[in-house]
Structure 1
Amino acid sequence: MTLESESHPVTSKPLKPRTIRPIAASSIYGIAFTEDILLAIDPRNGYLFQVDPFTNNTTIINAHHWDDFIGATGLAIADDTLWFTTRENVYFCSVSREENTLSLNYPPQLFTRLSYPVNGVAVHEGAVYVTCQKSGDIYIFNRDNGKEITRLYAPGIGTQNITIKDEHLWLSDTLEQTIYCLDRATGKVIFSVLTPFEFPTGLAFHRCQQTGKDTLYVAYTFPEPYIRDNPNAEPNYELQYRDRTFIHPLYFRFYPEKNYALSNGYLLEMSYVEELEPLDPVQLKDVEWRIGLPADTDRQKVRTVEAIGLPFTEEVHGEGQRIAVFKFDQLTHNERYIFGWRAIIEVWSIKYRINPRECENLPELPPEYGERYLVDNDDLAMDTEIIRKAAEEAIGRETNFLRKMYSIRNYVYDRLSYGIKPHIDSPDIALKRGVGSCGEYLGVLLALSRLNGIACRTVGRYKCPGHPLMHNIPLAPDYNHVWMEFYLPGFGWLPMESNPDDVIEGGPYPTRFFMGLAWYHAEMAKDVPFERLFSEGVQVNKEQVSIGDLAINHVQFTILDELDPNDD
């Protein structure tokens, strides 16, 4: 009797790309494919892995020379020659193949040495491409004599790896959480996409021999927090960190006519439910409890919505924002209900690509937008001296629309640090204090933008916990979240995160979420408050009855599947 068959995962090659987990790897940086063999660098241990991408079967092919690869980050293979980078050096050595096993012919030869540490390497025909974070350049060398041909500007601010496919350069950036597609001749960024995980450290294309389809694989390396059961400690549960590294397919689709690209999407089940449990005596008559529903946007599609606990009617407000309306004859402190909604939604990472030069001669802002999105209609303290002065300082002499918005963002990041408080203060107080939550970052951004003639609005409301490999497991967010959209005349509304890009004290700041959103954002409050309470036709304000004092909300996400934007 045998345990293997044609359908057994060990003996058959799956047609669908899968997550690759090299055995014993503590970190993965440079990766490269040669047919169905994956090569991967572990710079921490100096291992050069040969990995079967279908089974994770892993071999160390530099078993006797691992110390030569400690600190290596870049990897490429071309014409039976292996290229790698370590410290300031670029090396190469020949590769031998016996059946499905590769071996290196030692010793490696020095190709070139730079003044700064180098990161990634790629080889195409007679040219060798090398990335360097310190200088911010892509160096191009003559493969035959090692002489520098030219340099290209490297976008982003993190450690970058590089690969080449046809006429395009592809760069991964650790801090930007981004893959850039560049024209190989000019270095111009054609488009960029966000990765589903943070800290992408390497990338390579693989062509499936069965389908002929190319898949871009991206390596990730980061520390993961976890709860460790330590029998020698009291209490025995303690917070620890462990290395997390793997290689995952990146799905993407560029829409040049719409100026954006989508990448790895996820099918989510999301539920929002209120549990009525008043803290104080209350009696309300003829009650309408309104809760925002997920919206249809460029990066989010609603498949289904259904009621939980009690039925609701649906209204549409503003630019298509759907609202669930729950009706009660009366609400008192003696009653108990649960009510809300469950939705199945598709969510994608999105990154818009618009250059400042395209924003030189913009059309006028529609008058109705000025009346709604250039005024202080949300306690923005736009008439205070500190906010007016900040609005002037933020843009200086800048006149370009997009650069003004970028300057305002950086100004706010320079002056605020992230912190959570029980309540949200107005922008003038937050700016004086120098610490703010996402809502306070947003308030300052809105105030400074509107004073500079940039129409903008609040959007949100929740983020799915960012664990895209945890399918069919209930996930609960710790907090709600809000971010911003600004209106670019002639283009439309563009997203911008309130605070997550403020990760480096004093900058430079990533631009991953400037005109971009990650897959885990759930959009459900555009142009209207997310949740409102009405009694006898009049909105109930917080001083009368607070929704937070009336009910406990329960928010839950479940990741059902991963989606490819090319699957129509």
Structure 2
Amino acid sequence: MIPDTVSLDISHQQLNLSTIRPIAASEIHGIAFQGAILWAIDTKNGYLLKIDPLTHNTQIVNQEHWEDFIGVTGLAIADDKFWFTSQQNIYYCSLNDQTFTPELFTRLSYPANGMAIWESTVYISCQKTGHILVFNGETKQQITRLYAPGIGIENLTIRGEELWVSDSLEQTVYCLDRATGKIRFSVLTPFEYPTGLGFYKHPQTGEDVLYVAYVNSEPYIRDNPNADPNHELLYRTRTFIHPLYFAYHSEGNYALSNGYLVEMSYVEELAPLDVVELQDLEWRIALPADTHRQKVRKIEPVGLPFTEVVENGQRIAVFKFDTLTPNTRCIFGWKVLLEVWSIKYRLTPKDCENIPDLSQEYCDRYLVDNDDLAMHTDIIQRAAAEAAERETNLLRKVYSIRNYVYDRLSYGIKPHIDTPDIALRRGVGSCGEYVGVLLALFRLNGIACRTVGRYKCPSSPLTRNLPLEPDYNHVWLEFYIPSIGWLPMESNPDDIIEGGPYPTRFFMGLAWYHAEMAKDTPFERLVINGSILNKQQVSIGSVAINHVRFTILEELNPAKNIQVSMDS
């Protein structure tokens, strides 16, 4: 296996920082650190947990009063006081009080979610109002309110002049200016549904480590001896606390978070369904690219050797066959060792004012219908005009078009991809059909864009050294802002709420599990004498079976990521 020759990043192991799974905890909603102690609230059981972050030893502190804490979501520790939110109420009590008798601080008009304390200032998040409310801790009067950065349930913590916010639906942690509420940057979390966060100062190194709590459900196979068949598919809730590593690159307007060293292989198995014989065949397969969030450490062939060419900046593996017949059987492909990270760009509409015009080269390449986008049809042209809403700012225009498409499409898988006019009329689309509609509407509005893909690693970062196989391939897109560069945007994963509001987690952002390849070139092609064979001549799917595998080897720290040009 490739990693035998590679030095793995084990910095978090050296610090003895690992995933914390408190025994008996069901749903942790809110965590806080008090020196070397981690406090956590289990909202389902009502347990106030005291945890050693190094040994993971866990105690239930409110042993006789747990019923009073069922439903608590926010948690903060200040001096010897324990603060928490319960429905519309904000309470505090002394940690030295064995009866945990709460005192009411204030009552809101809507349910309170998370909270944080800084000296005599109290911060409270409220999803219903979309704000973070700021109170004077002594007078109990509201001082001001800040706009909440996301649309989900948010929890808070404070580090110096920074207010940190986790958002359950956005799968994001935001770093805000504590005084103004302005977003400095944001990072994607490696798991869905973050429910609490807090900074821990490691006693040996003095390093500030951000821990994030999560609550989500996972499928599992239950062996039921009373059923026939005895195996049942069920879901269970899991909760845990995991370090969130991040690195902010202000010059590139992006932040990286938890990365993983991944071994990926793409292999074709020749097994023709039809009688086909090809002479002097070149089988071309795109290789993973080096980007801000992805670095190729090593590539090696599988089965057969290949040569390498570069097309439009994209590395391509070329396998050559003198003769391919119906009886030919072999496997061939590549195996690559990848560093992959989550990335989130932070740009505002103001950053996109007074930008230069798109170059003629980009107009000719990225504003044309070169991929069966049905840009000439009435339904697509009407949609392009409606979606832009007379917006002139490029970033706002992209955002408006995305929301327009999400309003009119729902996700669904089909055997083949229809053109954007058919998908838009039908109202249901796969990731490829979402991309097709978005490309068509962007290009008709003068926004350069391109398809990107090709696969996603199964999102199981805690599953190490086991081969994982994706169920489907996947495509997303990139749009271009002159003088800034290419920015990623997912196709459909943010379309999760009927009618909106929609998260922006993957608007100018990608999760760690995306494998980037096939930019400005098809992912896989058959070529004879310099001519590309189309599907009518030979379909790759009728000639070979593809095998895609990912193996997650190690978690990485993004501070060691190598920067490359945004225009790559």
Q: CA deviation at 1:105?
A: 5.2
Alignment deviations for residues 445-494 of structure 1 (CA, whole Å, 9 cap, x no partner)? 00000000000000000000000000101000000000000001110000
The within-5 A match list for 1:410-559 is 410-559=403-552
Q: CA deviation at 1:56?
A: 2.0
Asked whether the equivalents of residues 150 and 170 of structure 2 are also in contact (C-alpha less than 8 Å), the reply is yes
* Counterpart among 350, 361, 383 of residue 357 in structure 1: 350
Alignment deviations for residues 514-534 of structure 1 (CA, whole Å, 9 cap, x no partner)? 000000000011000000001
Q: CA deviation at 1:37?
A: 1.1
Amino acid at match of 1:92: Y
Distance in 1 (alpha carbons) for counterparts of 2:77 and 2:156: 12
* Counterpart among 287, 292, 302 of residue 298 in structure 1: 292
Alignment deviations for residues 13-47 of structure 1 (CA, whole Å, 9 cap, x no partner)? 96232111111001111001111111101111111
* Map of 1:29 onto structure 2: 29
* Map of 1:109 onto structure 2: 103
Distance in 2 (alpha carbons) for counterparts of 1:94 and 1:316: 66
Q: CA deviation at 1:227?
A: 1.2
Distance in 2 (alpha carbons) for counterparts of 1:347 and 1:567: 12
Secondary structure of 2:336's partner? strand
* Counterpart among 238, 241, 244 of residue 235 in structure 2: 241
Q: CA deviation at 1:395?
A: 1.1
Amino acid at match of 2:23: I
Asked whether the equivalents of residues 366 and 450 of structure 2 are also in contact (C-alpha less than 8 Å), the reply is yes
Amino acid at match of 1:406: Y
Asked whether the equivalents of residues 420 and 440 of structure 2 are also in contact (C-alpha less than 8 Å), the reply is yes
Check if 1:347 corresponds to 2:363: no
Amino acid at match of 2:263: E
* Map of 2:203 onto structure 1: 209
Secondary structure of 1:23's partner? coil
Amino acid at match of 1:275: E
Amino acid at match of 2:450: R
Amino acid at match of 1:238: E
Amino acid at match of 2:72: A
Check if 1:165 corresponds to 2:154: no
Asked whether the equivalents of residues 407 and 500 of structure 2 are also in contact (C-alpha less than 8 Å), the reply is yes
Amino acid at match of 1:417: S
Asked whether the equivalents of residues 38 and 53 of structure 1 are also in contact (C-alpha less than 8 Å), the reply is yes
Asked whether the equivalents of residues 196 and 349 of structure 1 are also in contact (C-alpha less than 8 Å), the reply is yes
Check if 1:191 corresponds to 2:185: yes
Secondary structure of 2:415's partner? coil
The within-5 A match list for 1:40-51 is 40-51=40-51
* Map of 2:324 onto structure 1: 331
Secondary structure of 1:408's partner? helix
Asked whether the equivalents of residues 23 and 56 of structure 1 are also in contact (C-alpha less than 8 Å), the reply is no
The within-5 A match list for 1:246-257 is 246-257=240-251
Amino acid at match of 1:233: A
Distance in 1 (alpha carbons) for counterparts of 2:296 and 2:29: 37
Amino acid at match of 1:234: D
Amino acid at match of 1:530: F
Distance in 2 (alpha carbons) for counterparts of 1:509 and 1:125: 35
* Map of 1:10 onto structure 2: none
* Map of 1:122 onto structure 2: 116
Q: CA deviation at 1:420?
A: 0.4
Distance in 2 (alpha carbons) for counterparts of 1:473 and 1:104: 47
The change in CA–CA distance for 1:474 and 1:144 in structure 2 (over 3 A counts) is same
* Map of 2:3 onto structure 1: none
Distance in 1 (alpha carbons) for counterparts of 2:38 and 2:134: 25
Moved more, 27-36 or 346-355: 27-36
Asked whether the equivalents of residues 95 and 105 of structure 1 are also in contact (C-alpha less than 8 Å), the reply is no
Check if 1:224 corresponds to 2:218: yes
Amino acid at match of 2:255: A
Distance in 1 (alpha carbons) for counterparts of 2:155 and 2:359: 43
Q: CA deviation at 1:104?
A: 4.6
* Map of 2:62 onto structure 1: 62
Asked whether the equivalents of residues 37 and 52 of structure 2 are also in contact (C-alpha less than 8 Å), the reply is yes
Amino acid at match of 2:149: P
Distance in 1 (alpha carbons) for counterparts of 2:542 and 2:98: 68
Q: CA RMSD in A?
A: 1.0
* Map of 1:563 onto structure 2: 556
Distance in 2 (alpha carbons) for counterparts of 1:397 and 1:428: 22
* Counterpart among 166, 173, 176 of residue 182 in structure 1: 176
Q: CA deviation at 1:566?
A: 2.0
Check if 1:313 corresponds to 2:307: yes
Q: CA deviation at 1:223?
A: 1.1
* Counterpart among 271, 276, 292 of residue 270 in structure 2: 276
Amino acid at match of 1:29: H
Secondary structure of 1:334's partner? coil
Amino acid at match of 1:21: R
Amino acid at match of 2:197: L
Distance in 2 (alpha carbons) for counterparts of 1:247 and 1:165: 19
Amino acid at match of 1:36: A
Q: CA deviation at 1:51?
A: 1.1
Secondary structure of 1:566's partner? helix
Q: CA deviation at 1:440?
A: 0.2
Secondary structure of 1:107's partner? coil
Asked whether the equivalents of residues 124 and 134 of structure 2 are also in contact (C-alpha less than 8 Å), the reply is yes
Distance in 1 (alpha carbons) for counterparts of 2:560 and 2:365: 38
Asked whether the equivalents of residues 295 and 322 of structure 1 are also in contact (C-alpha less than 8 Å), the reply is yes
Asked whether the equivalents of residues 290 and 532 of structure 1 are also in contact (C-alpha less than 8 Å), the reply is yes
Secondary structure of 1:469's partner? coil
Secondary structure of 1:231's partner? coil
* Map of 1:402 onto structure 2: 395
Asked whether the equivalents of residues 93 and 105 of structure 1 are also in contact (C-alpha less than 8 Å), the reply is no
* Counterpart among 275, 280, 283 of residue 286 in structure 1: 280
Distance in 2 (alpha carbons) for counterparts of 1:14 and 1:330: 53
Secondary structure of 2:28's partner? coil
Distance in 2 (alpha carbons) for counterparts of 1:146 and 1:336: 76
* Map of 2:10 onto structure 1: none
What is the TM-score when the length of structure 2 is the normalising length? 0.96
Distance in 2 (alpha carbons) for counterparts of 1:465 and 1:391: 34
Distance in 2 (alpha carbons) for counterparts of 1:15 and 1:221: 25
Secondary structure of 2:95's partner? strand
Q: CA deviation at 1:58?
A: 1.3
Q: CA deviation at 1:537?
A: 2.5
Asked whether the equivalents of residues 16 and 54 of structure 2 are also in contact (C-alpha less than 8 Å), the reply is no
Q: CA deviation at 1:327?
A: 0.3
Distance in 1 (alpha carbons) for counterparts of 2:173 and 2:15: 24
Amino acid at match of 2:126: C
Secondary structure of 1:30's partner? strand
* Map of 2:80 onto structure 1: 80
Secondary structure of 1:370's partner? helix
Asked whether the equivalents of residues 62 and 100 of structure 2 are also in contact (C-alpha less than 8 Å), the reply is no
* Map of 1:379 onto structure 2: 372
What is the TM-score when the length of structure 1 is the normalising length? 0.96
